[in-house]
Amino acid sequence: MGKQGGRGWTLGLAGLLSPVTIWLGLFFLVPLLLILAYSFGKSGIYGGITLGFFPGNYLKVFDPLYLEIILRTLVIAVLNTLLCLLIGYPLAYFITFKGGRHKHTLILLVMIPFWTSLLLRAYAWVVILGGDNGIANRILQFLHLTDHPLTLIFTPQAVIMGMVYSYLPFMILPLYAALEKFDWRLKEAAQDLGASRWHTFWRVTFPLSLPGVIAGSILVFIPSAGEFVIPNLLGGARTVMVGNLIQQQFLQARDWAFGSALAVMLAVLLVGAIMFYVRKVGADKLEEV
């Protein structure tokens, strides 16, 4: 797109980047700086903040109670990402390669449930998984997979299931975007040359879909860490995640300074992890085609 450093190049880059720079610069970075300032401030008893330099908020993060919550959150986020990948990839693969002219419909069908309120769908899951005579228990017993009712809802497992349920589209859409672009005749060609299906998949398809895998992982992992609705609705509020904690600090505890410090630490931790992950998997190399 023009020689690097040339005028056309600079104009092109500036043109492409100016909208996001203005929008995120104003409406994200400035508020972020505000939060950074808050994290060093002192919380009023009833909320509000006096600005200053009180790094104690960050020291508070290292209380074992909070570290445990952060660790739990990271574990759940990683599990969530892995499960979304395991479940989402085959579906994206199916839609892309077996969907044919129904591809677009199939993708839209994935999204439609997510246009109803999460609250309603969570309540529905309580109905499905709940109770000794609930739908799930009855099916499990009918299939003779168990001989007595199980406690399925309001458990950490229910939280993870709820997270996967909530974040699946965030994995499926980027995977679809990445898989859809390449010429599947490449795949057929490899198979014609004698490669087995598995071989073709692992050596041809999967590597080429890697940008999609990375994008999906990021879009699932990062927001998972900030989740607070699902642990409450499906976990009986007993699986405390850092999203719940930060919410609580801003609202019930009215400790905006500590809440801000938690948020900043979370951001630094996660963005750092992502940058490391992206670099390690070498995604940027794939872009220089």
For 279, phi and psi rounded to 5 degrees?
Answer: -65, -40
Q: Tell me which of 61, 70, 152, 240 binds other proteins, using CB under 8 A.
A: 240
State the number of binding residues for other proteins (CB under 8 A). Answer: 138
Q: Interface residues for other proteins in 60-119 (CB under 8 A)?
A: 65, 68-69, 87, 90-91, 93-95, 97-105, 107-119
CA dist 266 to 23, 134, 204, 223, Å?
Answer: 23, 38, 36, 11
Q: Based on the shown chain and the rule CB under 8 A, indicate whether residue 126 belongs to the binding site for other proteins.
A: yes
Q: Tell me which of 3, 19, 193, 194 binds other proteins, using CB under 8 A.
A: 19
The minimum distance between CB 3 and other proteins, in angstroms, equals: 12
150/143 Cα distance (integer angstroms): 14
Measured torsion, CA atoms of residues 166, 273, 212, 119, in degrees rounded to the nearest 10: 10
235/229 Cα distance (integer angstroms): 10
Q: Based on the shown chain and the rule CB under 8 A, indicate whether residue 199 belongs to the binding site for other proteins.
A: no
Of 51-59, 140-148, 250-258, the segment contacting other proteins by CB under 8 A is 250-258
CA dist 104 to 4, 33, 98, 244, Å?
Answer: 37, 41, 12, 36
DSSP assignment of 214-236: HHHHHHHHHHHHT--HHHHHHHT
Helix (H) or strand (E) holding 15: helix 7-24
Q: Interface residues for other proteins in 26-65 (CB under 8 A)?
A: 27-32, 34-35, 38, 45-48, 65
Of 51-59, 140-148, 204-212, the segment contacting other proteins by CB under 8 A is 204-212
Q: Interface residues for other proteins in 141-180 (CB under 8 A)?
A: 151, 154, 165, 168-170, 173-178, 180
The minimum distance between CB 133 and other proteins, in angstroms, equals: 8
Q: Interface residues for other proteins in 207-236 (CB under 8 A)?
A: 208, 210-212, 214-216, 218-219, 222-223, 225-226, 228, 232, 235-236
